[in-house]
Amino acid sequence: MGSEEVWWDKQIGIMFGRGDWARVMKSKTEDEYEKNVANMMDQWGELGKNTSIDFPTYINGTWLVHKEKFVQCWTDRVRHFGNTTNNRCESSHSAFKEWIATPTEAIDTLFMQIDSFIAGQLMEIRNSLEASHRSHGTEFDILPYSALNGVCSQYCLELIQDEFGRIKGYDGDWSRCGCVIHNTHGIPCACYTFFAVQNGRLLYCQEVDPFWYRLAIGDGTDSAKILSERDQDRQFFMSLVTKVQARDPAIMRSVSQVLQLELYPDRRSFEEPEVNTTSKGRGKLNKGLRWNKSGFEHVMGKSTSSGKSSAATGNYTYIYLL
């Protein structure tokens, strides 16, 4: 086989992988999957027809028989936390092979290299988890993220923030949300977060999968203590109190007045207006009545053609000062 034929075969593989095959893998519903498979067979069904293994036989017998493991409409039903490929395994395997340099070392030397490699990875993972546990980003120190800040990983908070940003695209049609990220990542979806904000409440740690706040490895315990929902609300309120105390006294007085009115509504300085029980309703409309003008009217001049004033002839020129 010549170099041109090899190049052309490679280009065909790229077109297939990025085109029809990619659409099959990214099918969001089973109906869409069946449609994309049918279109793929129409485009590529004749490939390898005169060989021992034709295209439909290979695709159906080797790949589509395992469709539940890689097609999106099925993987979206599984809590995979974003791991839908084996890229991490391949990456770790590649790094491991580079670390040991050669597999022909003595068994004791090889064992020490493997142990050193794993220890280095564990240290790196622990450092990243501890950084997430200690960091309190100011962008997440507000509703509805405050209870999760410093408890969940920063990557988890960024996922929730990105999901919340999708709300504008739904335009009130919550059926378009699909709640996929709740199934796959175990975090609140866009519509869930929206209603939490509408009700003025936090997203509690109990509403996030424990995977995101187990910032420890090996001991089987969580590095962050998960409080009850009431305690999380209390913690958020106390953080606001601390911030208000550090502000200008005028702000403290303003917030204090709001809290006082909320706690003691009977002490408000205004009362409900009295209801007028003697009203007779609207009278009948007389179409002959003239309406009130919306501007000031000024007579600008007189009509001199017949020696009569404009007031006498009824010819007026008006200027409306709006």
The structure tokens 């309190």 sit at 136
Q: Which pLDDT belongs to residue 321?
A: 45
Contact 24, 36 (CB under 8 A): yes
Percent of the chain with pLDDT strictly greater than 90: 12
Task: Say how many CA atoms lie within 13 Å of 38 toward its Cβ.
Answer: 6
How confident is the prediction for the chain on average, in pLDDT?
77
Q: Which pLDDT belongs to residue 311?
A: 46
The number of residues making up the chain comes to 322
* 167-181, 237-251, 273-287: least confidently modelled range: 273-287
Cα 84 off chain centre by: 20
Q: Which pLDDT belongs to residue 281?
A: 65
Task: Say how far apart CA 195 and CA 226 lie, in whole Å.
Answer: 23
Please check the confidence at residue 272 and state whether its pLDDT lies above 90: no
- Stated pTM of the model: 0.63
b/e per residue, 284-304, with b = 16+ CB within 10 A?
eeeeeeeeeeeeeeeeeeebe
Q: Which pLDDT belongs to residue 51?
A: 63
Q: Which pLDDT belongs to residue 65?
A: 92
Instruction: Map out the domains of the chain as residue ranges.
Output: 3-75, 87-134, 138-228, 229-266
Please check the confidence at residue 38 and state whether its pLDDT lies above 90: yes
Please check the confidence at residue 37 and state whether its pLDDT lies above 90: yes
Q: Which of 76-85, 88-97, 143-152, 277-286 has the highest mean pLDDT?
A: 76-85
Task: Say how far apart CA 177 and CA 256 lie, in whole Å.
Answer: 40
* 2-6, 51-55, 177-181: least confidently modelled range: 2-6
Please check the confidence at residue 198 and state whether its pLDDT lies above 80: yes
Q: Which pLDDT belongs to residue 280?
A: 67
Which one has a higher pLDDT value, 185 or 46? 185
Q: Which pLDDT belongs to residue 17?
A: 86
Question: Average pLDDT, stretch 263-268?
Answer: 76
316 — pLDDT class (breaks 50, 70, 90): very low
Task: Say how far apart CA 193 and CA 217 lie, in whole Å.
Answer: 29
Which one has a higher pLDDT value, 46 or 81? 81
Which whole-number Å values give the CA distances from 97 to 16, 86, 106, 171, 262, in the listed order? 32, 17, 15, 51, 65
Question: Average pLDDT, stretch 157-174?
Answer: 83
* 5-9, 182-186, 275-279: least confidently modelled range: 5-9
DSSP string for 218-272: SSSS-SSPPPPHHHHHHHHHHHHHHHHHTS-HHHHHHHHHHHHHHH-GGG-S--P
